[in-house]
Amino acid sequence: MRKLEGLSASRGIAIGPVFRFVQEESAPIPRYTISEAEAETHWNRLQKAIGKSTHEISLLKDDRSTEQSDILSAQLMMLEDPEFIPQVKRDLFARLQNIETVLADKVGEAAGILRMTGDTYLAERAVDIEDAFERVMKHLLQDAIGRESLPPGSRNPSPANRFIPPGAILVARNLKPSESLFLKDSGVAGVVLEEGGATSHVAILARSWKIPAVMGVRNALDAVVDGVELILDGSEGLVIVNPGNDLINVYRSRSMSDQRHETVSEAERIELIRSPAVTTDGVQVSLRANIALPEEAEAAREEGAAGVGLFRSEFLFLGSEEFPDEETQYEAYLSVVEHMNGAPVIIRTLDAGADKMIGEQLSLKEKNPLLGWRAVRYCLDRRDVFLVQLRAILRASHYGDIRIMFPMISNVEELDAVLDVLEEAKASLARDSLPWKKRLKVGVMIEIPSAAVCADLLAKKVDFMSIGTNDLIQYTMATDRENPKVAHLYDGFNPAVLRLIRQTILAGIKTRTEVSMCGEMAGDPASVFLLMGLGLRNFSMSPALLTPVKELVRRVSLNDAAELAEAAMELSAAREIRKLVQERMKNYE
Ligand code: PEP
Ligand code: MG
């Protein structure tokens, strides 16, 4: 038996055999021989892949700085090289091996020759060749994935296209949000990750889908083999490898008693769902739901959400090669509105980038993606993609109370630019005689410290602001929300974070602008107690957390919350604030 410790990411107990998922750094290159007749097909595939790559690079080149543009021009030249490409063709027909093999060898050979010259300029051209053809290789491999002719075992591994036995516990280094989508209907009993934190997107999804998860478990993959029995205690952040029958029985009965406890309180839960979110001294609070997929709207309604406070629209874009077109997006937004029966639905525009890369973001290989080409920064450069999404949201707004929210706004100029594109989208709908809600509310996320500091300036231009604590904590504390090594610094009770939150709430009060919170802090009852005291009245959280938070709201008085907040803001450390909140919570037990 061996115990591994990590971070609690999604509550609950899971017991089951291990399924190890080992990601490769990059897709393996399949190597196989081909017939003479097939060589022609492989040559055509190469030309197609080069065509796609050239198109992508040209698009990127158009809106890049001169320096970046020079690099991209060099890559374009490589792809059109009048000597290199015919050499690849000659090799392909002479060697009769698949095009991926021939290309990889040829690129390696050319780059090697340039590096051997010892000339710095030529060595840099070697990097250009490798970069340019890596893009071509990506297209070749993607094209190959759909082909029956590909030898088994040479596909790019993703947990979604591997058979994972239902009831197994998935152990991996990390899962990208796009890779996590499959978890919902996979029957996976639990998830253990070496990386990740409580507010990483995979943790957020696991909580929504009630899959127990522990993250930040160092060397988890090395500590287990496929099939070995595992106990995962999501509440304690604990993983037990090879526990033995006695311990399994202990945890089984603990899990059953947890479930019984839940069954006992089922009647109470239904009562809570029907009851208003009002404090004992009569203050009404609004509790909305965060969703990532349109089908989660149903769970949100069933759990009594007063609307959708955050629809993470980027999940429509993840996991497929093509971006969803206007019609597909329109249908998705419409289906959420229809489920919510007239309650507000806040659709956040595409927050791609950082851990949720799409399209050309992937090939950019940013040094600091968290500080990079993300969310509205990407959308303002890819106006075409942005306009399609805005048109789809606007069209759906005709049928319900849709509100638009822009993520990662960092300053007023950026907000102005985004609002201009929104006007352009409206004008294009007008030209097409398509209706949209004329009094559509527009808001921003406050998730970058600069936005919180200037919340009063932003507030003048919008109808609402929603505090995204997941990123706000990350950027305020300079702490990657997925890095377990620095997880101790990632704490919303840090005075710096609380001051930014308070500043945003006060800016909202001063400018009469609605302020809400949709970060994970809004789903934590202890935090909600404190935040109500700071003046917050609107919270949005995973549907599964709506009843625990409502239960807290109905138990406390605003008077006590305000006293707590006043005392907490005098303290200088997150630990002291947490202790104080816990003490005050005890008064209500
Ligand atoms: C946030 O940053 O708090 C937020 C809600 O957005 P996301 O978690 O998707 O980054
Ligand atoms: Mg965010």
Whether 258 is covered by a domain: the verdict is: no
541 CA from centroid of ligand 1 (Å): 11
Q: Is 389 left (phi over 0), alpha (psi -120 to 50) or beta?
A: alpha
- Say if residue 79 is in the same domain as residue 200: no
In a domain, 398, yes or no: yes
Q: Are residues 307 and 367 in the same domain?
A: yes
CB of 312 within 6 A of ligand 1: the answer is yes
Cβ-proximal residues to 54 (8 Å cutoff; 6+ apart), any chain: 76, 79, 80
110 and 181 share one domain: no
Q: State whether 418 and 435 are in the same domain.
A: yes
Q: What is the pLDDT of residue 156?
A: 44
Question: Greater confidence, 128 or 100?
Answer: 100
Residues with CB under 5 Å of ion ligand 2 are 447, 468, 471
Q: Look at residue 146 in the predicted model and tell me its pLDDT.
A: 47
Residues 20, 68, single domain; the answer is no
pLDDT of residue 165: 81
The pLDDT tens digits for 424-434 are 999 999 999 99
Name which of 175-179, 396-400, 402-406, 553-557 the model is least confident about.
175-179
Whether residue 253 is contained in a domain is answered as no
Residue whose CB lies within 8 A of the most ligand 1 atoms, among 346, 347, 351, 539, for a mutation test: 351
Same domain, 313 and 164: no
Q: Is residue 154 predicted with pLDDT exceeding 50?
A: no
**Would you call 587 helix, strand, or coil by DSSP?**
coil
Q: What is the pTM of this model?
A: 0.77
| pLDDT given for residue 162 in this prediction | 65
- What is the arithmetic mean of pLDDT over 505-521? 98
**For residues 281-301, b (16+ Cβ closer than 10 Å) or e, as one string?**
eebebbbbbbbbbbebbebbb
Domain boundary, last residue among 192, 224, 244: 244
Q: Do 20 and 40 share a domain, yes or no?
A: no
Does 207 map to a domain?
A: yes
pLDDT for residue 65 = 54
Determine the residue of 208, 349, 471 to mutate for testing ligand 1's pocket, defined as the one with the most ligand atoms within 8 A of the Cβ atom: 471
Question: Residue 230: which of 517, 6, 513, 528 has the closest Cα?
Answer: 6
379 flagged as catalytic: no
Phi, psi of 214 (to 5 degrees): -125, 135
346 lines ligand 1 (CB under 6 A): no
Task: Tell whether ligand 1 has an atom less than 6 A from the beta carbon of residue 470.
Answer: yes
Percentage of the chain beyond pLDDT 90 is 69
Distances (CA, A) of 102 to 42, 51, 127, 148, 152: 10, 18, 19, 20, 19
**Same structural domain, 423 and 471:** no
Of 388, 415, 440, the position where a domain reaches its end is: 440
> 106 with 85: CB under 8 angstroms?
no
* 306 and 417 together in one domain: yes
Residue matched to tokens 């229809």:
338
User: Is 55 an annotated catalytic residue?
Assistant: no
pLDDT on residue 161: 57
pLDDT at 145: 53
- Which runs of E-coded beta strand occur in 343-395? 345-348
Which residue's CA lies nearest to atom 1 of ligand 1?
468
Q: Which of 192, 227, 244 represents a domain boundary (last residue)?
A: 244
Inside any domain, residue 509 = yes
What is residue 229's three-state secondary structure? strand
Tokens of 490: 């990632």
- Are 331 and 381 contained in the same domain? yes
Do 121 and 7 reside in the same domain of the chain? no
56 falls in which pLDDT band (50, 70, 90)? confident
Cβ burial of 586 (10 Å; 0-12, 13-18, 19+) is: exposed
The string of pLDDT tens digits covering residues 246-260 is: 999 999 999 888 776
3-state helix, strand, coil in the chain (%, to 5): 55, 15, 35
In this predicted structure, the answer to whether residue 148 has a pLDDT above a threshold of 90 is no
Task: Give the domain CATH number at 168.
Answer: 3.50.30.10
What is the domain-level CATH number for residue 456?
Answer: 3.20.20.60
pLDDT for the residue numbered 473: 98
Structure confidence at residue 505 (pLDDT): 98
Q: Is the pLDDT of residue 313 over 90?
A: yes
Residue 463 falls inside a structural domain? yes
Tens-digit pLDDT profile for residues 437-480: 999 999 999 999 999 999 999 999 999 999 999 999 999 999 99
Token pair of 310, please? 């955050």
Per-residue model confidence as pLDDT tens digits over 7-44:
999 999 999 999 988 875 555 677 888 998 899 999 99
Q: Is 247 helix (H, G, I), strand (E, B) or coil?
A: helix
Domain at 132, CATH number: 1.10.274.10
Measured in whole angstroms, the distance separating CA 437 from the mean position of its chain's CA atoms is 29
- Do residues 45 and 17 both lie within one domain? no
Burial class of residue 574 (count of CB atoms within 10 Å of its CB; 0-12, 13-18, 19+): buried
Cβ contact 205:183 at 8 Å: yes
Calculate the average pLDDT of the chain. 90
Question: How much is the pLDDT for 456?
Answer: 98
Residues 267, 197: Cα–Cα separation, whole Å:
33
- Token digits for 57? 């690079």
Tracing tokens 């709908």 back to the chain, one arrives at: 429
Position 331 in a domain? yes
Per-residue model confidence (pLDDT) at position 459: 98
Cα–Cα distance, 400 to 441 (Å, whole number): 12
In a domain, 263, yes or no: no
Three-state DSSP state, 235: coil
State yes or no: pLDDT of 123 exceeds 80: no
How many domains does the structure of the chain reveal? 4
- What are the backbone angles phi and psi of residue 20, rounded to the nearest 5°? -80, 130
Domain that holds residue 139: 36-144
Total residue count of the chain as it appears in this document: 589
d(CA 509, CA 501): 13
* Model pLDDT for residues 188-245, shown as the tens digit of each residue: 999 999 998 889 999 999 999 999 999 999 999 999 888 899 999 999 999 999 999 9
Q: Residue 480 Cα, ligand 1 centroid: separation in angstroms?
A: 13
